[in-house]
Amino acid sequence: MSDGVAIADSATSSNTGASHIEHFDVLIVGAGLSGIGAAYHLQKKCPTKSFAILEGRAAIGGTWDLFRYPGVRSDSDMFTLGYPFRPWSDAKAIADGPSILNYIRDTAREYGIDRKIRYGHKVQRASWSSAQAAWTVEATLADGNTVHLTANFLFMCSGYYDYVEGYMPGWPNMDSFRGRIVHPQHWPADLDYAGKRVVVIGSGATAVTLVPAMAETAAHVTMLQRSPSYIVARPSKDFIADWLRGKLPARLAHTLIRWKNVLIGMYFYNLARRKPDVTKKGILRLAQKQLGPGYDVTKHFSPSYNPWDQRLCLVPDADLFASIRSGKASVVTDQIESFTETGLRLKSGEDLPADIIVTATGLKVQLLGGMQVVIDGAPANLSRSLTYKGMMYSDVPNLASAFGYTNASWTLKSDLTCEYLCRLLNHMDAAGYAYCTPRRRDPSIAEEPAINFSSGYIQRASDVLPKQGSRKPWKLHQNYALDMLEFRFAGIDDGIVEFSRRKNGTAV
């Protein structure tokens, strides 16, 4: 396989003064879980394609390198969050962040993918030229210089949120607080919370992870939530998986466990959607059992929405419930009136003293890593486009994104997307096509939100996210088994993707 080839710089200039631009068949943006998976598939299924991975940060791993807060972990099992091609061998199925980061690093090293990563390349802009059948990608380097590269296909593995800052709602008098305010996205390595009073604002996955982890050494941790989330306990170890791993070759065991977990996940998701009241009662009953009959689970653990209107929060080995039972942590359901010098004043009138306040208030959703898209000289607004198979965008040629499921592990979908992309590239090569563009020609396709979640971070991003259509292939299944059949076996040329040949002599 060749690395990028240098081509004459006719269309673009670079601040670095280089006189040529490197060209690749495929540029992957992002060296997280998805980007490394994408490179594996490209190497295996499209071995003649040249490619590079452009990574804005100085490190591999994306999410699993960025987030460093105490206790950071997955809430999916690693047999489905891990790659299908590289068995997860650690003892815990619900893994801590550093183990996941090691797994991504080891995968990249094992398959030689680490050598393909260009660190410190923050992609700012991609301009498509139909005449050249190529993207010109502009990236800012760590030293502030700009570099240009070209590629026939752009594969965005840039995740779904802004790496620069998390979501931080403003509250009155924040400046008056004499303690420390911390956002989990930028955890200070020097933060010493031993013996301190901590308030964690939030009720999502990050808050429920932080509370038991900090409660181990803090004087007390209060989880302050405006409204509750569904919280479900699950063992961090998978005993069936351990048994299978003991009996079978690693690959076979991994595949079987992966399918077991996919099917169990699908069963519970469908049950929750079909019988929300039964599911809700079941979840509350389990919380009550954990916390004892005197605990007000209706107030603190009963959301106003149905299960899976937002992602459920999983707590491994019931650690959150255990720290509440021990008295080291507590939950307050109330709203913030204002910050004070010594903590928080709540709308109920209660004062919550704190030495440290952690704002586990979520992420800022960002599409395509904040990259600006230009098509044949005109800026493209992807929020007006429809997603095709949850991976491409109407009227945007030769560009795909890796996205995960909202109701199952991210990698299940992002891995299928990588497989499909390889099929698509091989199909185009075999038929002599230079580019492909999903076209929305059927006026009866209605628009729906791309992600049907009531969560704050999705609602806040509704005007930047693209839409999905009312029917496939514009509509997402959110179902791994159905997607697998479609992504692996359905015809590529479905009459919706328009395939185009090179114009004479101009393509790169």
CA distance 492 to 316: 41
Cβ closest to ligand FAD, residue 98 vs residue 302: 98
Residue 355 is given by DSSP the state S
417 near 391, Cβ under 8 Å? yes
What is the helix (H) or strand (E) element at residue 103, kind and residue range?
A: helix 97-110
Cβ closest to ligand FAD, residue 433 vs residue 480: 480
Q: Does 417 bind ligand FAD (CB under 6 A)?
A: no
- Taking CB under 6 A as the binding criterion, the range among 28-36, 247-255, 262-270, 451-459 that sits at the site for ligand FAD is 28-36
Q: What is the smallest separation between the CB atom of 45 and ligand FAD, expressed in angstroms?
A: 19
CA distance 4 to 17: 19
CA distance 185 to 189: 12
- Residue carrying structure tokens 């004043």: 345
- Taking CB under 6 A as the binding criterion, the range among 48-56, 251-259, 283-291, 439-447 that sits at the site for ligand FAD is 48-56
Cβ closest to ligand FAD, residue 203 vs residue 409: 409
What is the helix (H) or strand (E) element at residue 81, kind and residue range?
A: helix 78-81
Largest CA distance in the chain: 77
Please give the structure tokens belonging to residue 98. 């550093």
Cβ closest to ligand FAD, residue 73 vs residue 197: 73
- Taking CB under 6 A as the binding criterion, the range among 20-28, 117-125, 339-347, 489-497 that sits at the site for ligand FAD is 117-125
Q: Which of 24, 34, 236, 467 binds ligand FAD (CB under 6 A)?
A: 34
Closest CA to 133 of 397, 344, 311: 397
Q: Which of 25, 75, 138, 419 binds ligand FAD (CB under 6 A)?
A: 75
Cβ closest to ligand FAD, residue 124 vs residue 302: 124
Query: Across-strand partners of 340?
Result: 343
Within 10 A of 450 (CB to CB), how many other CB atoms are there? 24
Contacts (Cβ under 8 Å, ≥6 apart) of 319: 212
Of residues 377 through 406, those in contact with ligand FAD by CB under 6 A are 402, 404
Per-residue binder mask for ligand FAD (CB under 6 A), 201-220, x = binder? -----x--------------
The backbone torsions φ and ψ at residue 418, rounded to the nearest 5 degrees and listed phi first, read -60, -45
SS (H, E, C) 36-63: HHHHHHHHHHCCCCCEEEECCCCCCCCH
Please give the structure tokens belonging to residue 134. 């190529």
Q: Does 229 bind ligand FAD (CB under 6 A)?
A: no
Of residues 424 through 483, those in contact with ligand FAD by CB under 6 A are none
Q: Does 122 bind ligand FAD (CB under 6 A)?
A: yes
Closest CA to 87 of 252, 261, 235, 263: 252
Cβ closest to ligand FAD, residue 201 vs residue 434: 201
Q: Does 54 bind ligand FAD (CB under 6 A)?
A: yes
Q: Which of 33, 215, 218, 312 binds ligand FAD (CB under 6 A)?
A: 33
Alpha carbon distances (Å) from 336 to 147, 225, 272, 348, 349: 46, 9, 32, 9, 10
Q: Does 369 bind ligand FAD (CB under 6 A)?
A: yes
- If phi over 0 gives left and psi between -120 and 50 gives alpha, with beta otherwise, what is residue 203? alpha
Q: Does 261 bind ligand FAD (CB under 6 A)?
A: no
Q: What is the smallest separation between the CB atom of 224 and ligand FAD, expressed in angstroms?
A: 19
Q: How many residues bind ligand FAD (CB under 6 A)?
A: 35
Q: Does 198 bind ligand FAD (CB under 6 A)?
A: no
Q: Which of 4, 56, 84, 228 binds ligand FAD (CB under 6 A)?
A: 56
Q: What is the smallest separation between the CB atom of 291 and ligand FAD, expressed in angstroms?
A: 24
Cβ closest to ligand FAD, residue 95 vs residue 198: 95
Of residues 123 through 162, those in contact with ligand FAD by CB under 6 A are 123, 157-159
Residue ranges of alpha helices (H) inside 196-296 are 205-215, 239-247, 250-274, 276-291
The residues of the shown chain that bind ligand FAD, judged by CB under 6 A, are: 29-35, 54-57, 62-63, 67, 72, 74-76, 81, 121-123, 157-159, 163, 206, 369-371, 402, 404, 409-410, 414
